[in-house]
Amino acid sequence: MSESIIQIQHLTKNFGGGPGEVHALADINLDIRQGEIFGIIGLSGAGKSTLVRCMNLLERPTSGTVLVDGKDMTALSEGELRLQRRKITMIFQSFNLLMQRTCLKNVCFPMEIAGVPKAQARKRAGELLELVGLADKANAYPAQLSGGQKQRVAVARALATDPKVLLCDEATSALDPTTTVSILELLKDLNAKLGVTVVVITHQMSVIEAICSRVAILDGGSVAELGPVQDIFSNPSTDAARRLVYPGGASVSQYPAGTRAARVSFNGGTVNQPLIASLAIDCGVKVSILGADTRSVGGKATGTMLLSLPDDPNEAARALSYIRSQPYITVEEVEYRG
Amino acid sequence: MAEIFTSAFWAEYGGILAEGVWDTLMMTAVSTFLAYLIGLPMGVVMILTQPHGIRPNRVVNAVLGWIINIGRSLPFIILMIALFPFTKFVVGTKIGIKGAVVPLVVSAAPFIARMVETSLSEVDAGVVEAAQSMGASNFQIVWKVYLPEAKPSLVLGGSVVLIAIVGYTAMAGTMGAGGLGDLAIRYGHQRNVPSVMWITVIFLIILVQVVQSVFSRLSVRIDKRLK
Ligand SMILES: Nc1ncnc2c1ncn2[C@@H]1O[C@H](COP(=O)(O)OP(=O)(O)OP(=O)(O)O)[C@@H](O)[C@H]1O
Ligand SMILES: [Mg+2]
């Protein structure tokens, strides 16, 4: 087991005071390991952004400690904190690029802040743009780029100070499914190539499934579940986890305990892929939809669907392998418990 | 009016008109420059100290806000008279270009502070936060984020300030500051030579048009969001 890079102990965060006080985070304990891709998922208002902003101390915790690379962020002076922040950089849903600077100069920005000599910074920025596949856009302005390209520039910028951790707060939420996939691929790639630890904040299961090794489910300001993605997704044990894992509409009490079900994720294939019909026609297996939360954005399907599998194990296995063979679709069997 | 097309008119008044134009331009340029030296930092401080700013400070924000409001609520002409002793103390005279610059600066600085504050408040809070997350100091955020990102808006604000100051110089002119306002009053009103007044009016119209179109174009040209 590798060492931890971020350790959060008994973290609480309240906003405001008096009767209107909001308890955004309550006694959070987390251990994020060096080199992993860690997911934090939760519904809107669960406290995801607050949690991630407590990691680089954009938000000062009300109590508890946040250790990044062994240093207690809450105990640092302002100057020390600024230095430490170079090790834990961030990308955002709205990209937050400097609109009056070229891409290259945007990537140079954190190096300017850090006092890197100009020529050296430019050279490094060029390399980073190449790494994210945007070498040809060095002299373009952000306004001339697509959302996905902007996020790539933001990633390059975030990597400019050779951080140990890259925090991604809803980094793909403003992007279409295809672009989302490509940005996630990029993050995965950088994690493998550079060893940078990635913390992914999202409300989309598909994002967690695509790249995370472990996940924490945040619910009402507390960690409801924590563990390897596969375990949590195939066996969600809390209500919060079930709400996220089982797509909307699936009423848990409606089916007898032990119903065999499959969770199908659509990761940006074309919407007119008639999965259910082709299951019936191509392998003669009839399934019913227990619940679905799928969307089509720009002709691409995303989201998840929960299908009940036939009781016959052979038929069920046939259905699963058929679904597995479809492009842009992932599936896993889950035990659908009441 | 027809006399303005005669050479006799220009022989008599050309010299003082040219001088008036020059004085107006000088007063405007010098006081705008000095007023920005004071107003720009004030506007920046207002942005930094606001409740969600990067260095919130209720007291500084409130006190500076009051000072700006007081400065802005006094009509220029009254401010100018009220400041006579101060002006005399600072530049040694109440009249001429030197005498006018003091009240012009005092009056324009709070106005500029508000213009700058408005421009900077348009800068996306997310970008400021991104800079903070990279470890930028507040000083770096001002120099590398707020001011450059707000540049097109600051330039546009600059045209409003310049035009306002041109208007103030005309008023100052009536109180002994020289320039076109002085000519308009002295010749147009007291000596009954309305043509001189009309020429100053035409010149002011042209000046305002030129300032506005140059600054508007400049603002668009430097704004990289529009590319
Ligand atoms: N600056 C603030 N002042 C007061 N309350 C806040 C502040 N920031 C967040 N909160 C509250 O804290 C709670 C958690 O907010 P947070 O933004 O962390 O949620 P989130 O999980 O990121 O949600 P979303 O998916 O909508 O981004 C919410 O109830 C929110 O209203
Ligand atoms: Mg959020």
Q: Which residues of chain A lie closer than 8 angstroms to B152, CB-CB?
A: 100
pLDDT score of B225: 93
The tally of domains found in chain B comes to 1
Cβ-Cβ contacts under 8 Å, B151 against chain A = 100
Domain that holds residue B140: 2-226
Residues of chain B with pLDDT under 50: none
Mean pLDDT of A122-146: 97
pLDDT, tens only, A42-99: 999 999 999 999 999 999 999 999 999 999 999 999 999 999 999 999 999 999 999 9
User: Which CATH number covers residue B14?
Assistant: 1.10.3720.10
Average pLDDT on A150-177 reads 96
Element housing A9 (H / E) = strand A4-15
Mean pLDDT of A235-263: 68
Residue that wins the pLDDT comparison between A167 and A295: A167
**Residue A29: both structure tokens together:** 């304990």
Distance A203 CA to ligand 2 centre (A): 9
pLDDT confidence of A298, banded at 50, 70, 90? low
Give the neighbor-by-neighbor strand order of the sheet with A37-42: A88-92, A165-169, A197-202, A37-42, A214-219, A222-228
**Candidates B132, B133, B137, partner chain A, best to mutate (most A CBs within 10 A):** B133
Where residue A249 falls among pLDDT bands split at 50, 70, 90? Answer: very low
CA dist B76 and B63 (Å) reads 22
pLDDT at A136: 96
pTM for the predicted model, two decimal places: 0.86
Stretch (H or E) spanning A205: helix A205-211
- Residue A199: is its pLDDT beyond 60? yes
- The rounded Å distance from CA A43 to ligand 2 centre is 9
Query: Is residue A200 scored above 90 in pLDDT?
Result: yes
Beta carbons within 8 Å of A63's beta carbon, 6+ residues apart: A10, A11, A12
The ipTM of this complex is 0.91
| Residue B122 pLDDT | 96
Q: Residue A169: pLDDT above 60?
A: yes
